[in-house]
């Protein structure tokens, strides 16, 4: 019975649609490129190696614990007139207490705007005003923490930060626009908290929440940069290790060199290079907004986030990517020079 069960499980794992194995079309292009190089060299393929990278800490490590602020003003008549009472009542309802991080941040920003309106009310008693000013100060201190919990522990942002193990498609790459717009919006919130100029379009939070839930663009961008780096490094190693087998020169048989040249143009120039350029462009466009979004918060709230921040957001992953690209192109430049090939198809 146990043997039959094992065989049945094995059978289902081998089914193409089972999910036990998946084909990544972009990785297939890199893999084919590497295999073609090895075939021309008539050598074994250098094993692909994925380099170790910093992991995103668990949510429980990232999340900041925030104590609720107790308010003894719920019966104050002035709060009903300026809208603060209704806002607090909704937050204290059963549904309000189980809201996700986006809704909590939405409430806190709304509360900040409404509280400011209450404080300028001419009908406000001094006792109530004094209490509200105290609450405003406490809420302001907590707002960055609420923001932090949203950008690291909400389901939507946490998934964006976790590298997703499928590379962005090499053809018809997904648009980065929705993710970039969300990053810019949250960057504006961070600046608004710092300079007490919170955005007034608070409901836009939910538009970005829905947009982020429909894509893993940022996580795929991170994964694509890393795996492109690893594939390029492997291919460069393949080329350099067996470079002496590629013969060039007058009255020499340059067949292997010409085959390599064709592979370079067919795979690298026509498919891989445009893909690398798109990854590079998208990351450089997103990076400054990501830094603005996360920089001060990670330093103030969580040291466990620092390795991740330095690698993915501050840009070590991109530096490695650029270096791997440069080294790969340098090999081809040296081969073309040695074989007296021109840049272009023969």
The per-residue pLDDT for range 65-85, each reduced to its tens digit, is 888 777 665 556 677 778 888
**What average pLDDT does the segment 335-340 reach?**
91
Per-residue pLDDT, 39: 96
Per-residue pLDDT, 259: 94
Per-residue pLDDT, 117: 86
Structure tokens at 209: 């929440």
User: Which helix (H) or strand (E) covers residue 268, if one does?
Assistant: none
Per-residue pLDDT, 211: 95
Per-residue pLDDT, 9: 41
Cα torsion through 74, 78, 83, 87, rounded to 10: -10
What is d(CA 58, CA 71) in angstroms, rounded to the nearest whole number? Answer: 33
Per-residue pLDDT, 76: 60
pTM flag (> 0.85): yes
pLDDT value at 10 more than 50: no
Per-residue pLDDT, 326: 98
**What average pLDDT does the segment 174-182 reach?**
91
3-state secondary structure of 23: coil
What is d(CA 110, CA 114) in angstroms, rounded to the nearest whole number? Answer: 6
pLDDT value at 5 more than 80: no
pLDDT band of residue 234 (cuts 50, 70, 90) is very high
What is d(CA 337, CA 248) in angstroms, rounded to the nearest whole number? Answer: 10
pLDDT band of residue 92 (cuts 50, 70, 90) is confident
What is d(CA 258, CA 291) in angstroms, rounded to the nearest whole number? Answer: 45
Per-residue pLDDT, 298: 57
Report the candidate in 213, 150, 153 with the shortest Cα–Cα distance to residue 179. Answer: 213
Per-residue pLDDT, 3: 41
Per-residue pLDDT, 288: 94
**More confident of the two residues 138 and 297:** 138
**More confident of the two residues 130 and 274:** 274
Q: What is the DSSP string of 24-60?
A: -HHHHHHHHHHHHHHHHHTSPPPPP-PPP-PPPPPHH
3-state secondary structure of 265: helix
Which percentage of the chain shows pLDDT scores above 70? 87
> Could you tell me if 17 and 271 are in contact, meaning their C-beta atoms sit under 8 angstroms apart?
no
Per-residue pLDDT, 56: 94
Per-residue pLDDT, 240: 96
pLDDT value at 280 more than 60: yes
User: Please, what is the average pLDDT of the chain?
Assistant: 86
pLDDT value at 243 more than 70: yes
Q: Residues near 253 by Cβ (< 8 Å), separated by ≥ 6?
A: 247
Per-residue pLDDT, 108: 92
Q: What is the pLDDT of residues 46-60, one digit of tens each?
A: 999 888 899 999 999
pLDDT band of residue 91 (cuts 50, 70, 90) is confident
**What average pLDDT does the segment 230-255 reach?**
91
Cα torsion through 199, 213, 174, 18, rounded to 10: 170
Q: What is the pLDDT of residues 198-223, one digit of tens each?
A: 888 889 999 999 999 999 999 999 99
Per-residue pLDDT, 87: 83
């Amino acid at each position: 019975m146990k043997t039959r069960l094992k065989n049945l499980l094995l059978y289902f794992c081998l089914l193409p649609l089972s999910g036990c194995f998946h084909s990544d079309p972009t990785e297939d292009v890199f893999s084919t490129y590497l295999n073609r190089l090895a075939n021309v060299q008539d050598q074994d393929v250098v094993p692909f190696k994925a380099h170790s990278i910093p992991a995103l800490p668990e949510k429980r490590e990232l999340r900041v614990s925030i104590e609720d602020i107790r308010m003894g003003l719920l019966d104050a008549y002035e709060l009903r007139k300026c809208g603060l009472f209704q806002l607090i009542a909704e937050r204290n309802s059963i549904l309000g207490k189980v809201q996700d991080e986006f809704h909590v941040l939405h409430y806190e920003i709304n509360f900040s705007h409404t509280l400011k309106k209450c404080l300028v009310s001419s009908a406000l008693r001094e006792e109530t005003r004094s209490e509200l000013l105290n609450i405003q100060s406490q809420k302001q201190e907590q707002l960055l923490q609420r923001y932090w919990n949203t950008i690291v522990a909400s389901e939507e942002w946490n998934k964006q930060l976790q590298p997703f193990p499928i590379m962005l498609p090499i053809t018809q790459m997904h648009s980065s626009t929705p993710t970039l717009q969300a990053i810019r919006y949250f960057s504006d919130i961070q600046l608004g908290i710092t300079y007490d100029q919170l955005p007034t379009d608070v409901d836009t939070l939910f538009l970005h929440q829905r947009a982020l839930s429909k894509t893993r663009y940022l996580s795929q961008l991170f994964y694509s940069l890393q795996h492109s780096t690893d594939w390029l490094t492997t291919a460069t190693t393949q080329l350099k290790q067996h470079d002496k087998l590629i013969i060039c020169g007058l009255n020499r048989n340059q067949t292997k060199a010409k085959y390599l040249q064709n592979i370079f143009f067919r795979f690298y120039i026509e498919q891989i290079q445009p893909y690398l350029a798109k990854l590079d462009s998208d990351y450089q466009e997103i990076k400054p907004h990501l830094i603005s979004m996360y920089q001060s918060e990670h330093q103030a709230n969580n040291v466990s986030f620092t390795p991740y921040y330095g690698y993915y957001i501050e840009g070590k992953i991109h530096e490695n990517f650029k270096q791997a690209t440069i080294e790969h192109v340098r090999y081809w430049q040296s081969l073309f020079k040695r074989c007296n090939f021109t840049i272009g198809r023969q």
